[in-house]
Amino acid sequence: MVLVCVTDQESCDRLIEAGKNLAILMATPLKVISVRPKNSEDWLASEELEYLFSLAKSLDAEMIIRFHDYAAEAVADYIKNHDVQTVIVGQPPQPGQSVFISGLEEHFPHLPIICVQDDGRLNVTPYFWGCDERVEA
């Protein structure tokens, strides 16, 4: 499966759309996951999450909401228990400076993690390729 990791930002729609395209190419299911803080009380009222949920549903993807204070741990736990072939995330502001991506790479060094830039271009994370430069797709 392709697993798309989203926050509660409407702009994450580009991640879901990229994930759907990849899932079609790979002939595998698409799932979307969002991790909310344990004490988050306003998650149901989030228009952004409702928008992303609707988009995922329209693309035949299940959207999963996990409650955890550490997003990388929650997603790593999900990956351990499911057949995830590729992870899609948003491009961090500074390449190589994402605690979330680093945490996933540490747990799953051979799992491709693809970053979607703001303009929709895709980058495979450098750690996966074992180099210091980004590889654009």
Model pLDDT, residue 127:
47
Summarised one tens digit per residue, pLDDT across range 89-103 is 998 877 667 889 988
Q: What is the pLDDT of residues 5-51, one digit of tens each?
A: 998 888 999 999 999 999 999 999 999 999 988 876 655 557 888 89
Answer whether residue 132 shows pLDDT above 60: no
Average predicted confidence (pLDDT) for the chain:
84
pLDDT higher than 90, residue 79: yes
What pLDDT does 96 receive? 66
Dist CA 131 CA 33 (whole Å): 28
Instruction: Supply the pLDDT for residue 118.
Output: 82
Q: DSSP letter at 11?
A: G
Domain at 2-136, CATH homologous superfamily = HUPs (3.40.50.620)
% the chain with pLDDT above 90: 50
What distance in Å separates the CA atoms of residue 113 and residue 86, rounded to the nearest whole number?
6
